[in-house]
A and B are shown apart, each in its own frame.
Chain A
Amino acid sequence: MSAKSGGLLASFDYLDDALGAIRELCKAGRKDLTVYAPLPEHHIEEALGYRQGPVRVFTLVGALTGTATALAFTTWTSMDWPLVVGGKPILSIPAYVIIMFEMTILFGALSTVIGLFINIRIPHTKPLVVYDPEYTAGRFGVYAPADSAEMDDVRRILEAHHPAELREDREGAHNA
């Protein structure tokens, strides 16, 4: 959470305008930009300079946990009360592999989702002040946090890229 008191929210109809604004703001050393988009757009990620995220760790750990759990469980339950069936050994590992596989997938998938939710902080129900319903429809939004001192040059940069709409946010109530 930045200490900035407020910021500017610009909505663009065109992707290239939005990208231009982002690039320039970054060049100007603006941090903590929040970009709204109706679709996942790699140009934006590049412009913001994203690298690999941590979700994959959740996936891996979850999956391995699943494998281990299944192996331990099947083995233990078989030894717990050894009953012979069809002349097969008490520990019929090949059969257990299937259980292990399924558990791997299950745990992996669930922990991935958990990882995602943690990383993007949803679900959350806080009021969406700095937001525009248009963002899910067609528009792109760029929010640059800025205090009163920086406010003007930020505005200048944004306006240079023909925003369809420019809103000032004094409270800084948004929570990116």
Chain B
Amino acid sequence: MSDGIKRRDFLKVLGAGSAGASLVGCSTDDVERLLPYVVPPEEITPGVATWYTSVCRECDAGCGIWVKTREGRAIKVEGNPNHPISRGALCARGHSSLLGLYNPDRFAGPMVREGGELRPISWEEAEAMLAERLQGAGSNVLMLTGSAPGSLGELFDDFVSAVGGTRVEHELLSEAPLREATRIAFGRNVVPAYDMERARMVLSFGADFMETWLSPVEYTRGFGRSGSVDDHGSNKAAMVFLGPRLSLTGQNADEWFPIRPGSEAAVALAMAHVIAREGGDAGPYQPVLEAYTPAVAAELSGVGADEIEDLALRFADQAPAVALGPGLSGHHGNATAANLAVLILNHVAGYVGRTVRVRNADLGAASQSYAEVREATRRMSADGVQVALVHGTNPAYGLPRDAGFVEAFGRVPFKVSFAECMDETAALADLILPDAHALESWGDSNPRPGVYALQQPVMERVPHFDSKQAGDVLLSVAARLGRDLGAATFYDFLRGRWERAYDTSMGSDGFEAFWSTGLKNGVVTIAEVEDQREILRAPDVALTFDLPEFTGGDLEFTLQVHPSSRLGDGTQANRPWLQELPDPVSKITWHSWLEMNRHTGESMGLRNGDVVRVESPHDAVEVPVWLYPGIREDVVALAMGGGHTDYGRFGTGKGVNAMALLPSLVEQPSGALVLQATRVQVTPTGRHRRLATIEGADTQENRPITPAVALAALGHAEADDHAEAEGEHHDELQELQAYGGFVPVATEGRAEDFPLPGSQYGDYDPDENPRWAMAIDLDKCTGCSACAVACQAENNVAWVGEDQVTMGRDHNWIRLERYYETVDATHAGPVDVRHLPMLCQHCGNAPCEPVCPVYASYHTPDGLNGQIYNRCVGTRYCANNCPYKVRVFNWYTYTGEEPAFDGMGYAPEPLNWQYNPDVTVRTNGVMEKCSFCVQRIRETENRARIEDRPVQDGEVVPACQQSCPAEAIVFGNVRDPNSRVARVVENERTYRVLDELINTQPAVHYLKKVTFHEVEAGEH
């Protein structure tokens, strides 16, 4: 077969090569000097990937990335292993930046509005027009930008001050309260950084650090290390989640305190109270703590006083621990106070300077003040603004209706948008100057002191779109106005800034060397400032720690509005990968849903999918309900990101916009927008819809799918072996062999068990071949679903569209299963939700293989369960016979230029530029499934063969493992007893799904989740 594969690849390369050649040819003159990671661009060879480092701009964490390009096209984004924040991992949203780059709805070029219609014009005209308008605007210029860290922000400021005007930054997901609280507490105007890895216990006051809070990838990795058992089955740090709703982060907690919304401050202070009583230093806040006894907090929060007390003692005991948040789901009327309370708690317990770093900090996290936006809005409506420039933000979509932004913006005579593609704000603009995508632009980031990352273009601008980097536009406009900002292009501006910042402490052999190392490695790290214990300062502003006010006070439910872990604040809503990625919590795709407690919903006679009307004093939306045990009975939750009215073909009209329900409230003193601001009325409409979900049943139904083991029960491996020797272990399976009749088949995945005679090898010679296998540690896996999107990007997995998902035709090769074990929203206690990435198990005795009439599904000599697309006739017998249901069928061609029907998956130009040329693009009527990234295996094997050496352990890295922020996945050759996977497989927690039931001999080994509470007997 290997010959066949080679031949096919060769043909593909020819195609891709000729297609990419033209780009390669001109890529160097248009873009500035590109320093590839491995080879200089002029040496690009068809079929060989070239890598460029850059910085991810999907959120403000500032992860370093490096981008795989083939024949001049970016085809895959991966975390930069050198970067201290991403360390090689990447989240789902990061992967999706490629779809932003190739978004078919990007503007074809600059456009001007004439008589309501947008008319294409040249850049020359456009810049001239802008210059002229600015000339006449005097100082009444408003520049509204998203968070623009590093040089771009500086350029913005220079520009605004040069042309006269003001600049306002606006980010919906702003951490202003945290920054303000840190300033109040420690006199440092920074967003602290947290050291999850060192934490022995993590207390999250609704901070979704695995999804959206501050730096998800970094924190997931950190907690993945501290929050899971080590090889000796110990040292597991507990996570306690305090909040009204279990987010994904909450589902990964070991305990849940379902506290009343807004009571975070009180609970934190009460805990600090207890610890202070035991001798913790509360500084100037001692009197405040007096007021907040556990009893008071219990009263406010609805959980028991003794539970709070006990938690506080454990928190103090498990040093160093860390208390986080409250995150955005805690952004209610007194968010600053709540953040301050949590900082006090950390300080009282003595963790500031250890796990909470305020000196060596300032995460790049956005922390803009909504108050300024309100002020700007006022000015606009008072006709105080002649020219408005909008870059990197979409307030027309993201602000509450009450904010009146749209009306005010409409009054501005000349509105300029730098949007890459149409969005609600650009739709109002008079002039559109399409910015280049982040992967096409220069930039830099400084996610924290001592970490400098360079963002460089990874490919020539996608030729379909005549875009121009905003920085360059501003500079040339400034030049037209006769203002000198010290550089002709943004590249020079950036480089100049770095040159000025450079000193020998950053590297002794000159700036040039420093600069190119920066490009090569994508990041420069400088010795970090030493952290130290901070002095707690008395508050310089009035703060209340009691329950905040909510509008619609007497209504039944408190509405929680939280950023979506897939679509953020809606910026990624036009990415089919993310729209179709099942939400890690609800497993719903494409549309919005209202989360409501299961009992509450049932008492209201609601079923999943019943459409309800959610009414706040400010607006109302109609949305299907999804009943969820992990949310308080008096709270309902809506995710952000839906309800776009003008955001491209993939984003428009999907779901509802949660922001519409909110009032335009400013939190004091931080000035942030209050997200948890209102109560709502929920009334059934009588209508129903099938949810576009991948969820079948949400419990294991007494099957050994994701068994768990209690921490206390670990460490008895020897005893087990002993029992086994005496035959007290469960019955051994007997398997009929071709020769020698029945032989026992061991059910532990011991390395030496491979190959089982006649099982995964049949008549192949096992000693000749490796046996590729994977181990997934469910104690680490958080269900964040980054692997699923990474797999999609690597393997050209199609997206199929909302209707198809609703029919059950979702295409992801990795299905993140989520099973409830223990979830109780009525009182504080253990929570146990199991996440299991289900992918092709590459069974030794694969049930899918013998039933295929045409050998489309067969076993490769190295133990892979091969799927030969061009043999497949589509009987679907293999899928029926797959007990894991990991095979997906192409019911239509989901990869064509045109959709088979409206709203169905397709890949219009240039979206199809993202396809990996090493992987067949599947069409109508064939079965597909996870291939263990066979193209990567073969590539590595070939390299090893060329270099005349064996493939080393850990050299083959499938896309899912590569991207996993929790480092939960291990891949390798289990035939080699020294390989990491073979050692992991010997772990006492290892099991194989359903193997004992049907003896499929999977090559995917799972390590049981470890719980602090006892796993009931009989329960898996």
Residues of A with Cβ closer than 8 Å to B?
Answer: 82-92
Contact A84 B738 (CB under 8 A): no
In the complex, the chain A residue whose C-beta lies closest to that of B761 is A84
Other-chain contact of B850, A82, A85, A91 (Cβ < 8 Å): A85
Does any Cβ of A come within 8 Å of B855's Cβ? yes
In the complex, the chain A residue whose C-beta lies closest to that of B764 is A84
Q: How far is the CB of A75 from chain B (nearest CB, A)?
A: 14
CB contacts (< 8 Å) of A92 on chain B: these are: 850
Does any Cβ of A come within 8 Å of B847's Cβ? yes
Q: How far is the CB of B733 from chain A (nearest CB, A)?
A: 13
Alpha-carbon distance between A89 and B764 when the two chains are bound, in angstroms: 10
Other-chain contact of A84, B756, B763, B847, B852 (Cβ < 8 Å): B763
Which of B844, B848, B850: most chain A CB closer than 10 A?
B850
A and B contact pairs by CB, cutoff 8 A, 25 listed: A82-B763, A83-B855, A83-B858, A83-B859, A84-B761, A84-B762, A84-B764, A84-B849, A84-B858, A85-B857, A85-B858, A85-B859, A86-B847, A86-B849, A86-B850, A86-B859, A87-B756, A87-B760, A87-B762, A87-B845, A87-B859, A87-B1001, A88-B850, A89-B738, A89-B739
Alpha-carbon distance between A91 and B763 when the two chains are bound, in angstroms: 10
Contact A88 B764 (CB under 8 A): no
Other-chain contact of A87, B739, B761, B852, B857 (Cβ < 8 Å): B761
Alpha-carbon distance between A82 and B761 when the two chains are bound, in angstroms: 12
In the complex, the chain B residue whose C-beta lies closest to that of A90 is B763
In the complex, the chain B residue whose C-beta lies closest to that of A82 is B763
Q: How far is the CB of B126 from chain A (nearest CB, A)?
A: 62
Apart from A86-B846, A90-B762: 16 A-B pairs, beta carbons within 8 A = A82-B763, A84-B761, A84-B763, A85-B846, A85-B849, A85-B855, A85-B859, A86-B847, A86-B848, A87-B759, A87-B844, A87-B846, A89-B738, A89-B739, A91-B738, A92-B850
Alpha-carbon distance between A83 and B857 when the two chains are bound, in angstroms: 10
Alpha-carbon distance between A86 and B850 when the two chains are bound, in angstroms: 5
Alpha-carbon distance between A90 and B761 when the two chains are bound, in angstroms: 10
Contact B763 A85 (CB under 8 A): no
Does any Cβ of A come within 8 Å of B758's Cβ? yes
Alpha-carbon distance between A111 and B772 when the two chains are bound, in angstroms: 52
CB contacts (< 8 Å) of A88 on chain B: these are: 738, 758, 762, 850
Q: How far is the CB of A64 from chain B (nearest CB, A)?
A: 27
Alpha-carbon distance between A81 and B645 when the two chains are bound, in angstroms: 57
Q: How far is the CB of B977 from chain A (nearest CB, A)?
A: 22
Other-chain contact of B758, A85, A89, A91 (Cβ < 8 Å): A89
CB contacts (< 8 Å) of B759 on chain A: these are: 87
Q: How far is the CB of A66 from chain B (nearest CB, A)?
A: 21
Alpha-carbon distance between A87 and B764 when the two chains are bound, in angstroms: 10
In the complex, the chain B residue whose C-beta lies closest to that of A91 is B738
Alpha-carbon distance between A102 and B606 when the two chains are bound, in angstroms: 56
CB contacts (< 8 Å) of A89 on chain B: these are: 738-739, 758, 762-763
Other-chain contact of B852, A85, A90, A91 (Cβ < 8 Å): A85
Q: How far is the CB of A99 from chain B (nearest CB, A)?
A: 12
Q: How far is the CB of B698 from chain A (nearest CB, A)?
A: 32
Alpha-carbon distance between A89 and B740 when the two chains are bound, in angstroms: 12
Which of A82, A84, A91: most chain B CB closer than 10 A?
A84
Alpha-carbon distance between A135 and B857 when the two chains are bound, in angstroms: 62
Contact A87 B858 (CB under 8 A): no
CB contacts (< 8 Å) of B848 on chain A: these are: 86
Q: How far is the CB of A125 from chain B (nearest CB, A)?
A: 44
Alpha-carbon distance between A88 and B739 when the two chains are bound, in angstroms: 11
CB contacts (< 8 Å) of B858 on chain A: these are: 83-85
Complex interface bits, B842-883 against A, C-beta within 8 A gives 1, otherwise 0: 001111111010010111000000000000000000000000
In the complex, the chain A residue whose C-beta lies closest to that of B859 is A84
In the complex, the chain A residue whose C-beta lies closest to that of B852 is A85
Q: How far is the CB of A74 from chain B (nearest CB, A)?
A: 13
Alpha-carbon distance between A83 and B854 when the two chains are bound, in angstroms: 11
Alpha-carbon distance between A84 and B847 when the two chains are bound, in angstroms: 12
CB contacts (< 8 Å) of A82 on chain B: these are: 763
| B interface majority secondary structure | loop
Alpha-carbon distance between A88 and B737 when the two chains are bound, in angstroms: 8
CB contacts (< 8 Å) of A90 on chain B: these are: 762-763
CB contacts (< 8 Å) of B852 on chain A: these are: 85
Alpha-carbon distance between A84 and B848 when the two chains are bound, in angstroms: 12
Complex interface bits, B618-648 against A, C-beta within 8 A gives 1, otherwise 0: 0000000000000000000000000000000
Q: How far is the CB of B660 from chain A (nearest CB, A)?
A: 55
Alpha-carbon distance between A90 and B765 when the two chains are bound, in angstroms: 13
In the complex, the chain B residue whose C-beta lies closest to that of A84 is B762
CB contacts (< 8 Å) of B763 on chain A: these are: 82, 84, 89-90
Q: How far is the CB of B952 from chain A (nearest CB, A)?
A: 27
Q: How far is the CB of A89 from chain B (nearest CB, A)?
A: 3
Alpha-carbon distance between A119 and B761 when the two chains are bound, in angstroms: 54
Q: How far is the CB of B631 from chain A (nearest CB, A)?
A: 45
CB contacts (< 8 Å) of B847 on chain A: these are: 86
The A-contacting residues of B in range 740-791, CB under 8 angstroms, are 756, 758-764
Q: How far is the CB of B486 from chain A (nearest CB, A)?
A: 68
Alpha-carbon distance between A87 and B261 when the two chains are bound, in angstroms: 56
- Rank and list the top 9 A-B pairs by shortest CB-CB distance, nearest first: A84-B762, A89-B738, A85-B849, A86-B850, A86-B849, A87-B759, A87-B845, A84-B859, A85-B850
In the complex, the chain B residue whose C-beta lies closest to that of A95 is B850
In the complex, the chain B residue whose C-beta lies closest to that of A85 is B849
Alpha-carbon distance between A87 and B763 when the two chains are bound, in angstroms: 8
Alpha-carbon distance between A82 and B846 when the two chains are bound, in angstroms: 17
Complex interface bits, B575-602 against A, C-beta within 8 A gives 1, otherwise 0: 0000000000000000000000000000
Alpha-carbon distance between A77 and B857 when the two chains are bound, in angstroms: 17
CB contacts (< 8 Å) of A83 on chain B: these are: 855, 858-859
Q: How far is the CB of A91 from chain B (nearest CB, A)?
A: 8
Alpha-carbon distance between A1 and B314 when the two chains are bound, in angstroms: 114
Q: How far is the CB of B714 from chain A (nearest CB, A)?
A: 33
Alpha-carbon distance between A90 and B859 when the two chains are bound, in angstroms: 12
CB contacts (< 8 Å) of A84 on chain B: these are: 761-764, 849, 858-859
In the complex, the chain B residue whose C-beta lies closest to that of A93 is B738
In the complex, the chain B residue whose C-beta lies closest to that of A89 is B738
In the complex, the chain A residue whose C-beta lies closest to that of B763 is A90
CB contacts (< 8 Å) of A91 on chain B: these are: 738
Q: How far is the CB of A84 from chain B (nearest CB, A)?
A: 3
Which of B759, B762, B844, B852: most chain A CB closer than 10 A?
B762
Q: How far is the CB of B308 from chain A (nearest CB, A)?
A: 56
Complex interface bits, B919-956 against A, C-beta within 8 A gives 1, otherwise 0: 00000000000000000000000000000000000000
In the complex, the chain A residue whose C-beta lies closest to that of B844 is A87
CB contacts (< 8 Å) of A87 on chain B: these are: 756, 758-762, 844-846, 859, 1001
Contact B845 A86 (CB under 8 A): yes
In the complex, the chain A residue whose C-beta lies closest to that of B1001 is A87
Q: How far is the CB of A78 from chain B (nearest CB, A)?
A: 10
Alpha-carbon distance between A87 and B761 when the two chains are bound, in angstroms: 6
In the complex, the chain A residue whose C-beta lies closest to that of B861 is A84
CB contacts (< 8 Å) of A86 on chain B: these are: 845-850, 859
Q: How far is the CB of B157 from chain A (nearest CB, A)?
A: 66
Q: How far is the CB of B1000 from chain A (nearest CB, A)?
A: 9
Q: How far is the CB of B241 from chain A (nearest CB, A)?
A: 44
Q: How far is the CB of A97 from chain B (nearest CB, A)?
A: 15
Q: How far is the CB of B448 from chain A (nearest CB, A)?
A: 52
Alpha-carbon distance between A159 and B764 when the two chains are bound, in angstroms: 84
Alpha-carbon distance between A90 and B763 when the two chains are bound, in angstroms: 7
Alpha-carbon distance between A84 and B844 when the two chains are bound, in angstroms: 10
Q: How far is the CB of B927 from chain A (nearest CB, A)?
A: 15
Alpha-carbon distance between A14 and B827 when the two chains are bound, in angstroms: 101
In the complex, the chain A residue whose C-beta lies closest to that of B762 is A84
Alpha-carbon distance between A27 and B850 when the two chains are bound, in angstroms: 68
CB contacts (< 8 Å) of B844 on chain A: these are: 87
Alpha-carbon distance between A84 and B801 when the two chains are bound, in angstroms: 36
Which of A82, A85, A90: most chain B CB closer than 10 A?
A85
The A-contacting residues of B in range 828-852, CB under 8 angstroms, are 844-850, 852
Alpha-carbon distance between A46 and B849 when the two chains are bound, in angstroms: 60
Alpha-carbon distance between A92 and B764 when the two chains are bound, in angstroms: 15
The A-contacting residues of B in range 136-162, CB under 8 angstroms, are none
In the complex, the chain A residue whose C-beta lies closest to that of B847 is A86
